[in-house]
Structure 1
Amino acid sequence: MKILCVGGAGQIGREAVKDIVKYSNFKKISIGDFSIEAAEKLAYEINDDRVDVVGIDVSNPEVASKIMKNYDVVFGSLPIKYDELFVKAVIDAGVNGLDITGMGTTYFNYDEEARKKGIVFVPGVGMTPGTTNVLTRYVCEQMDEVDDICISHGAFRAIAYSPGLASTTFLEYDPDLPGRVVYENGKYVQVPPFSREKLIELPEPFGVHPQYIIPHPEGYTIPRFIKKNIKRIEVRGTWPPKNMRLVRALYEYGFLKNRKVKIKGVEIGSRDFIAAYLEQMPEGKENKLWGYSLHIDITGRRGNSKVHHVVTTKHPTEGDPEWEGPKAYTRSVGIPLSIGAQLIGAGKVNEKGVLAPEAAFKPIEFIRELKKRGIEIQEKVYIEHLVE
């Protein structure tokens, strides 16, 4: 089996590549990247005979697709703006694939074509979306009916740690973004940025933080693939308090609408300018506490009982060299992408087409792989027996 890791030399992609080298049975592992120099540097660092380097640019999907045809599995760890180009190249190549962002609903436009070609494509296999979807299925499978699903996460990283990350951060709070919705009783309710604040307690060292509705795809895919008469789905998130204060101020002053302004005769979007500034300045790379934690809170019924099931995730922190500093964030996101690729490569995903993570992966298998890497799943279950 051969795998092509597109964007594999990036901050998150490299962690997925390293995990694949350590845990997988792939015979050939190609680091595919626009930057040959960065890919070769990573390959030299890994020093494994199975690893080689391939130059690839998905902005030219026809050429990228021809390269992909030589592989059994292709993963993408790319900025959001490349999502559709990447999935199109993978589907055209007729190979199995997955990516890390999963934002938007256009992926499913390729479902029929993927089925005809007998391949699977899984969008959004990171922590969120990705692990959140799988853990939600894990809980829902233990209930007969589901009332409320509250998915929350804390992504503790610098605001512009890698290219495109600041833009992604600001996009989630763009007031004109149509995908910021809550699923309620079969309908989607559009909400503005910083809506439905809720205090979420994450495992230490992260603690309690206010979280707000964000435009993530779980609210769209979970009702599609989990049939449990779900009444409501809310997806929230937060970043370090310093990041949140900046985003809130930019939102209140209208920067996140990305309206064009002229600076010495040069026209630029207000959001684009702030993102570029942060990506080029040291302040954009600074952060005290790094890591990632999920919090999934689901209520429903099982038999004659009301069930309240809370799942959180926790990873090693300072003191473990593999999880120190920024690695605590990048490994958290890269590991699920690696696990998904390995499960696809091992033939563990039987259905074809475009599948969300909750449809593609069996929760127990996915959770088992997370635990191998030190990502713990913590659970609390509260049961109220109903008297008829």
Structure 2
Amino acid sequence: MSKAFEPYELGGKRLANRLVMAPMTRSRAHGPGQSPTPLMAEYYAQRASAGLIVTEGVQPSRGGQGYPDTPGIHTAEQVAAWRQVTDAVHARGGVIYLQIMHTGRVGHPALTDLQPVGPSAVAAAGQVYTHQGPQDFVTPHELTDAEIRATITDYATAARNAIEAGFDGVELHGANGYLIHQFLAPNSNQRTDAWGGSPERRIRFAVETAKAVAEAIGADKVGFRLSPGNPYNDIDESDTTDMEATYTALVEALAPLNLAYLHQLEAPGVRDLTLRLRKAWPTTFVLNPSTGREPTGPAELELVENGTVDLLAYGALFLANPDLPARLARGGPFNTPDPTTFYGGGEKGFTDYPTLEEAGA
């Protein structure tokens, strides 16, 4: 049997296997004040056989919200509601980290009555979904130095709140074109001060945020997600020389912090960079590998077996298969994800995917 199904130690916690449920936005935080619900607790508990669950992106402040019905971790009401999720997962023997996601310029005043913020006053091309329908991205407010420092504090406070809510740790979302990624990318960060310009200055926000969160809850409870070369949300890292210099500098600056893990969402065509970052990273390396149009599947288990990764992250297949580790161990069969139910709604496409036992397989 593949090493993927062997236990693994992470941040003082024993993971049942080396399979990670990747963070996936589901937009079902219909509880008071955008807090999680019992249905969300059921959803995560169903998937507690993952070695590690990383939650959907959770905003550290009201202004950090970029999509409808995404949960927060910045009020006492939200913290209390998250406890039902962590209790449910722990009752089934699972380990769960909360992903802190500030969406930055990706958002709209229709969602929060606030102007989105970013490293520079540069609007992203495209639209965002709101309850009033699709809306063009607006030009964000360029964060001042003081506002940048306050935002870093928001991340640290959110991390403390997550631990209070019973999470085993947090993951900082530095990928997919959200705020941390916006600071890393030259097209969204056009600053000329100490927070922009050279790769060394563009990584500063990411590094300072990671330091603040590590100081708040302990480095062994902090993961960091990145996605070099990922164009999502109008990020342009097409200058590969600059991109590789930026992420090499970022990993070299984060490495001395001894965070719990580095989690890479792999863009197409960057495997050589992936291998270099993996080699430079001193602790656990998690990969959500590039697999083209198909979701990560059984073939990618070889990445654990051959030592390319320590932990392997699955997205869509974990969404549709609550007992994914058992299915992978036997080579399937797998439920097919239903994209029409990915965002919003209720239990359909959320908690009603059957396990092997329920399907009589």
TM-score, normalized by the shorter chain, greater than 0.5: no
Q: What TM-score does the superposition give when structure 2 sets the normalisation length? A: 0.30
Q: What TM-score does the superposition give when structure 1 sets the normalisation length? A: 0.28
Point out the structure with max Rg over C-alpha.
1
Larger relative strand fraction: 1
